[in-house]
Structure 1
Amino acid sequence: MIAETRARALLDAARARGWKVATAESCTGGLVAGAITDIPGSSDVFDRGFVTYSYPAKVAMLGVPQVMLTEHGAVSEPVARAMAEGALAASDADVAVAITGVAGPGASDAKPEGLVWFAIATRDVVRTERREFGALGRDRVRARSVDVALELATLAIIGG
């Protein structure tokens, strides 16, 4: 229910500014795009979504440099930033939200379960944010990530 409310707020904010939205998702596997497109009439705002779960997909679809993935790993600030910038460049959107994280299992000491990086790109600025949700389990980390992504994108549009 939170995702629906946040998706509606995002759509309303984007409509008010005449903006289009794109998503670039890894650990959420398209859930943010799904939350947005669950709302009837979202096609006037939602431009496209990129589900880039693998390294090759991030490189091919979003232009994330392979060297960046090798040096930092997918779950990192530079990669989140590059994903958002790539989604913006490869779409007709005015704002793009990117998510990359460890939903679990399979965490490491350096990148624990629940660590998620977000990036929001507009034509003028890119912001990143790190969240540590903890070991809530895969479904809950992904659900929380969707909520945060929708909220951050809405704030970028309103404050844009």
Structure 2
Amino acid sequence: MNAHEEAARFLLRHGLRLATAESCTAGLIAARIADVPGCGDALRCAVVAYAPAIKHRVLGVSPETIRRHGLTSEEVSLAMARGVLALTDANLAIANTGIADGKGDDGTPPGTQCFAWIFRQTGRGDGRTVEFSETVRLRGGRNEVREAAAEFALAQIARYYALAQQRER
């Protein structure tokens, strides 16, 4: 079983409903879940927000956050995840922003990927969230980086879910 099949089964086993906010991966994270038969209950929506204006208008990412931290930053990925979580009944949001090839305007090296995972705690009924973010640098060509980023995002779900459960206690 590959990473996205494991992730899809994990989502179903734990009653997780996923919403993604994707820039560099352009919907690949959600598409990998959709690739697994029977996993429709685990996927709520995917927002592809390449342009900064869409990150702002659709996901509510502040232009100030983008200006202060850059498009390829954990702060922007967290804001994207918060935005997509607010749009849905999902209890897990994953966001990704990064540079697949070339250098960013701010000199960010190719392959740099920033991720966020936000879990909405539903057990207490208060809707609190537990947030995680991580930056990695992946190697390869444009589409290799995008594919690896989608797989990475999904492979980390179980790890961050366990950490979120510990924080809830």
Give TM-score, length-normalised by structure 2. 0.85
CA positional deviation for 1:156: 2.7
Q: SS at the partner of 1:13? A: helix
Contact 2:116 2:132 in 1 (8 A): yes
Contact 1:95 1:153 in 2 (8 A): no
**Is the counterpart of residue 94 in structure 1 residue 98 in structure 2?**
no
| Structure 1: unaligned runs, 5 residues or longer | none
Q: SS at the partner of 1:125? A: strand
**Is the counterpart of residue 77 in structure 1 residue 82 in structure 2?**
no
CA positional deviation for 1:108: 5.5
> Residue type of the partner of 1:155?
R
| Structure 2: unaligned runs, 5 residues or longer | 121-128
**Is the counterpart of residue 151 in structure 1 residue 148 in structure 2?**
no
Matches within 5 A, 1:10-89: 10-89=7-86
Q: SS at the partner of 2:84? A: helix
Measure the CA separation in 2 of the matches of 1:117 and 1:130. Answer: 4
Higher Cα Rg, which structure? 2
CA positional deviation for 1:5: 1.9
> Residue type of the partner of 1:125?
V
| Residue aligning to 1:116 | 113
- Flag the 1:9–1:158 CA change in 2: closer, same or farther, 3 A: farther
Q: Give the % identical residues.
A: 35
Measure the CA separation in 2 of the matches of 1:60 and 1:40. Answer: 33
| Residue aligning to 2:126 | none
Runs of 4+ residues over 6 Å off in structure 1: none
